[in-house]
Structure 1
């Protein structure tokens, strides 16, 4: 299942190998593309390799470089053994995403912790993995009650699990799952001598090879699509976080690889290039895309005028990473065309 090599001169012995879980997903597909372009050999996992509708982009990515697609399931112990065998790095991207689950405790929280540890046990058995990069979420950092404005949340900030379980705001299971999977992964890595770094991205924007995007793309396009359910996700992010923080998918994938390769990297890293609000996004879109008739006068009364919170990526930048997409104009660069291709926006 290997495609042509990106650099034929590079011998197989020198080529680094990475495993990316969740290759059919939005972030996973973009990370695979960048790894292949960087000269890696990649092994990725999907639930069902025969599902051509979900996985057709992987066949196209095999034209860039050596990509092997393997069957694995977060629920099945040992099913990732083949995928991580012989790999230098393991990128844990696959995770339960059913934010509207009727049983978040079982379908999100328990499933996320179990699935993460399942892959990490495979990494221990492989014996070759130099570093595990766990993709968590800013939902594990910023979902907590805060008084007043001007808060800067860094990697020492954790979402409040007790508060979330007691108050059960919309989609509460998602931040709880991310906090608990991070803590269990960290404990497991220490016990087994695995080098683990965790990346906590904010709402991710931009074009990816996958033919279906996760909730962040429909959410940030909801002003243009008129999708009220998608807008509700964006509003939940702002209400729960105190801002709408954004990162371009290319920057996120570059950060993933940077943290895998940077020997000194350790612990958690926030990944956000811009802290903004629903109001600022609406005004930007109304100016940039007048053909969509964005109504900036009819926004809900409880949206923020300015961010109350800054999700700080100072640690990531301090260690040598540089964001390439920093303004709304740059971050939204190709997501409109991607939205059209996905059918979120009319052509």
Structure 2
């Protein structure tokens, strides 16, 4: 049965994740009853931040695994909305087909099938990534890409840019979800976030936050990731984590929401971020390293579809985005002071 007494119920898969745990927190703050899935609910250390969120409202932490067919049945049962955030991330695999692409598509369809069987889920919101949109050969600059754009998988397979398996997994998972939703008469919205930064309940972060702070933290691997984003995306598109979570809830609740939505607040460059950080945080030494960098974005990712439906981004400048992420970086020990 669906939520009773006017309380809406939402399932968020992959509750241990950076985006998912922030989304769980926001839903609870908005009065939702939430069920979230983790691979091992008995791991108290890994789930401590979720247990703390239980003080905000009704939050159930359930066991489920993307590789385990049917393991999401309990999690989506009785839910009004299902947010599919869990996804395998294996950027260093020597066999991306086996370790990233196939598990991603299989896991997405596993949860979609459970949502179809539940019979109460009014809408599924799938969290994908903007790498499904813009990884393709683009000459010159001035490009504006929207939801009609798909990354060029033939080019990706031939060129094998960094994390190419992740790109393929996102495109194929989205297309599989869209097909499944159409065949089963399900309402589906897909969020395609760009570089997502901001404070989350998770005590450890691995990708976007270290990358966004790499110019002042001295983390060379994270800086290489930031430069890699600029090279493959034709710029550095940014969205604040809070804005992304607000957008996902909006996509669940907005009656007309359907299909893909790029979630990008603004486009910048590594050089622009470095100049901003040097001015704003003179206590840190900004290290830009070497290599070819853009003076301005060659490609812009448009969130016009999302905005036209009534959504408004709150963080639209580097200043607004970095205020929260610098403090978060200090709290996590990414920044020394």
Q: Same fold (TM over 0.5)?
A: yes
Match of 1:172 in 2: 164
Match of 2:280 in 1: 288
CA distance in 2, matches of 1:217, 1:224: 12
Q: Deviations over 1:110-137 (max 9, x none)?
A: 1100000000000011000000000000
2:311 is the alignment partner of 1:321: yes
2:229 is the alignment partner of 1:237: yes
Match of 2:186 in 1: 194
Give the Å deviation of 1:12: 4.9
Show structure 1 runs of 5+ residues with no match.
Answer: 1-10
CA contact (8 A) 1:25 1:212 kept: no
Give the Å deviation of 1:214: 3.8
Give the Å deviation of 1:253: 0.3
Match of 1:139 in 2: 131
Match of 2:103 in 1: 111
Give TM-score, length-normalised by structure 2.
Answer: 0.98
2:202 is the alignment partner of 1:204: no
CA distance in 2, matches of 1:116, 1:13: 31
CA distance in 1, matches of 2:124, 2:326: 33
Match of 1:43 in 2: 35
2:113 is the alignment partner of 1:127: no
The counterpart of 1:306, out of the listed 286, 296, 302, is 296
Q: Deviations over 1:139-193 (max 9, x none)?
A: 1001111000000000001111111111111111111110000000000111111
Q: Which consecutive segments of 4 or more residues in structure 1 shift more than 3 A?
A: none
2:85 is the alignment partner of 1:78: no
Match of 2:210 in 1: 218
Match of 2:325 in 1: 335
**Which secondary structure state, in structure 2, belongs to the residue aligned with residue 291 of structure 1?**
coil
Give the Å deviation of 1:102: 2.0
CA distance in 1, matches of 2:216, 2:99: 31
The number of equivalent residue pairs is: 335
Report which stretch shifted further, 229-238 or 315-324: 229-238
2:66 is the alignment partner of 1:100: no
Once superposed, what is the RMSD of the aligned Cα atoms? 1.1
Give TM-score, length-normalised by structure 1.
Answer: 0.95
Match of 1:29 in 2: 21
